[in-house]
Amino acid sequence: MTDSHTIQKEEQTPQSKGNEKKRMLSGIQPSGDLHLGNYLGAIKNWADRAEEYECYYFMADMHTITVRQEPAELRRRSLHQLAQYIACGLDPEKNVLFLQSHVPAHAQLSWVLNCYTMFGELSRMTQFKDKSSKYKDNINAGLFTYPVLMAADILLYQPDYVPVGDDQKQHVELTRDIAQRFNSIYGEVFTVPEPFISKSGARIYGLSSPTDKMSKSDPGGCVFIMDEPDVIMKKFKRAVTDSDTDNPVRYDRENKPGVANLMNIYSTLTGKSYEEIEQEFAGKGYGVFKPAVAETVIDTLKPVREEAERLMKDKEYLNRVYKDGAERAAYVANKTLRKVYKKVGFYQI
């Protein structure tokens, strides 16, 4: 998440960044194509931040293997997700884009931080409980300790902010606890990051299950960035609403979650308020409203999909982006790792 100015920045301590840009880091697992929830909730806003922040964004491929993956498919997704990131507006010249496994310091720092993380802290992680119940035949150690790897992902780059959804705040809080614990023993080694919850990001729910966050695990209710227009239209026409015929298009999250979700999507893409949307579709049923939302989504995603398809055909370019991103990320990460190794007493040549 940084650009060519990294070298100047890295000569400073975490607490003396001066007047330079604040630093931000985030990542998404390449466990499937990006979807509308990823785009509206996070990535759409990431592209605008490069002017204000020094930004690192990575594909968290090491996190994906807590669940069994098809190796060839994981490699494909890792490359295609980069293409989709760039197509969404993340300029590799202004942001550091890299693959987590290309920077060994992530795993190296993770082991050290494991030794400064309490068993009780990890056992309280909500996502571990959720995934343990979902993958009962594969409750592996990585599933238990992956919040420590996440802490290493973050602390390596000394970021000021970590963009997260509400469901990830617990992991950032654990990261802060680990950083403060380490700093209390060894001095100001890590910047203690703040969770950055964007006010402009939208929380998008599944079209077939509007009380649950949009997820790749529900393909029928999930709109993918790479979906063709006719597929998107079908998904929206099948979107769950309700049987209200008197005043169907009105925002009521508690009693009309499906309609509220569609209004949220439409509002986010058009900039219209809920009141304006209610007026626009007053006296009209879902047969008019749902296709209108679909058309707006189609128009928004079409240039993104077409650019991603073009980039996917240029593997040489994507490899160059990954190579450059890994080099720039490793410069920052290795500096932090060397400092940590020295603090804990590892002998260095």
Check 21, 44, 131, 235 and give the catalytic one.
131
235 given a catalytic annotation: no
**Element holding 50 (H helix, E strand):** none
216 given a catalytic annotation: yes
3-state helix, strand, coil in the chain (%, to 5): 55, 10, 35
Of 169, 165, 259, 168, the closest CA to residue 203 belongs to 165
Strands 95-99, 22-28: pairing is unpaired
Check 9, 22, 213, 335 and give the catalytic one.
213
213 given a catalytic annotation: yes
User: Among all chains, which residue has been given the structure tokens 């997820």?
Assistant: 215
Residues 6+ apart with CB under 8 A from 345: none
3-state SS track over 147-173: HHHHHHHHHCCCCCEEECCHHHHHHHH
- For the chain, how many helices (H) and strands (E)? 15, 5
Check 9, 17, 22, 216 and give the catalytic one.
216
Question: Using CB atoms within 10 A of its CB, is residue 232 exposed (0-12), middle (13-18) or buried (19+)?
Answer: buried
Tell how far CA 132 is from the center of its chain.
22
Known catalytic residues are 131, 213, 216
